[in-house]
Structure 1
């Protein structure tokens, strides 16, 4: 199972712009991917467990193991590209 963890915060301007675009594209192109939005103020322990020290951070997990990490400056297309690669590997 592929899971996308999106670490965000209330005061993160980039998060507010990027999050809806990313969620829409992932939901459209990869409907089987489970998306979890994590507010770092509410889930400090989880953020620390995943070594999240900046925002936004997107982790792509497969079977609970981190496969890709995107932090601060990344594009929606970069995330979609990695999801497509993982999906192709899993479906082989």
Structure 2
């Protein structure tokens, strides 16, 4: 995952119409540290066209507030420049992947 430090970086990526995943985490968040590699591995394996970004909420308050993230970890999914889904702290990786399959295939089929 690419670390994002400026709001413009993420907005430019979202405006490309590529599928985007933005993972909001915190330095002292143990759940964030456990969940991140699992999400990253599954997304890379199942959805290679996704761009993956991470926002450190304790360092980048402007980005965090822009996306109205109030708890961590939070995962935002964007398809075609729009927020498709928002996942909070407790999430099933298997269900997460299953929910993304259909929209991903519709948006990214060649």
Same fold (TM over 0.5): yes
| 2:56 alignment partner, one of 12, 24, 39 | 39
Q: What is the root-mean-square deviation of aligned Cα atoms in Å?
A: 1.4
Task: Name the CA distance, whole Å, in 2 between partners of 1:82 and 1:71.
Answer: 14
Q: Which runs of 5+ in 1 are unaligned?
A: none
Q: Alpha-carbon deviation of 1:64? A: 2.6
Task: Name the CA distance, whole Å, in 1 between partners of 2:72 and 2:84.
Answer: 18
Q: Which has the higher strand share?
A: 1
Report if aligned partners of 1:68, 1:82 keep a CA contact under 8 Å in 2. no
Q: How many residues align?
A: 92
SS in structure 2 of the partner of residue 32 of structure 1: coil
Q: Which runs of 5+ in 2 are unaligned?
A: 1-17
Whether 1:84 aligns to 2:105 is no
TM-score scaled to structure 2, two decimals? 0.77
Shift in CA distance, 63/43, structure 1 to aligned 2, threshold 3 Å: farther
Q: Which segments of structure 1 move beyond 4 Å, counting only runs of 4 or more?
A: none
TM-score scaled to structure 1, two decimals? 0.91
SS in structure 1 of the partner of residue 49 of structure 2: coil
